């Protein structure tokens, strides 16, 4: 009843601030989605959805997205992994942790490989988008990776 997205973009960003929520906000701004009202989805790319550059979304738009979000006082990393199946369907995993970029990327890829195996399908393409940072001038850091849908 809420439609099938036609377009998507993979985005990522990092930020820091003196409160955890503001650090998350800073990471969303860095990712280009700070002025959106994100609605979180579980995690499928429609077979015919096209990847595109993020358009100018009107401020305050309600925007569906799959979001990996890490917020902490030390190293934080987030990764979105998108796997295209032979059927055209895309499967999406998200991982966020107070850990390294390499770790979340490895975990997110393993999720997608396992999800493809479960479906008895081969992966024809696997992509990741990762964000990783640690606080330098503020108390909290945040790393965000997301698939944003529109159209």
Binding site residues, a copy of itself, CB under 8 A: 1-5, 15, 17-19, 21-22, 25-26, 28-29, 34-47, 49, 58-64, 89-91, 93-95, 107, 110-111, 114-115, 117-119, 149-151
- Identity of the residue, 28 or 129, whose beta carbon is nearer to a copy of itself in the bound complex: 28
- Identity of the residue, 48 or 74, whose beta carbon is nearer to a copy of itself in the bound complex: 48
List of residues 6+ apart from 15 with CB closer than 8 A: 23, 24, 25, 26, 27, 28, 29, 30, 133, 141, 142
CB of 36 to a copy of itself, least distance (A): 6
CB of 80 to a copy of itself, least distance (A): 12
Rounded Cα gap, residues 66 and 69, in angstroms: 10
Pairing of β 7-17 and β 50-51:
parallel
Rounded Cα gap, residues 63 and 133, in angstroms: 25
- Identity of the residue, 44 or 134, whose beta carbon is nearer to a copy of itself in the bound complex: 44
């Amino acid at each position: 009843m809420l439609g099938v997205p036609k377009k998507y973009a993979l985005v990522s960003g990092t930020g820091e601030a003196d409160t955890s929520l503001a650090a998350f906000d800073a990471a969303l701004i860095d990712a280009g989605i700070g002025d959106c009202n994100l609605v979180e989805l579980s995690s499928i790319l429609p077979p015919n959805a096209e990847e595109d550059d993020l358009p100018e979304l009107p401020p305050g738009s309600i925007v569906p997205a799959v979001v990996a979000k890490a917020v902490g006082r030390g190293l934080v990393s987030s990764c979105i992994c998108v796997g295209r199946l032979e059927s055209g369907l895309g499967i999406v995993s998200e991982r966020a942790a107070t850990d390294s970029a390499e770790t979340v990327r490895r975990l997110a890829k393993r999720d997608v490989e396992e999800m493809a195996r479960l479906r008895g399908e081969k992966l024809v393409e696997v992509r990741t988008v990762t964000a990783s940072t640690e606080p330098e001038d503020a108390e909290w850091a945040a790393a965000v990776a997301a698939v944003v849908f529109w159209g």
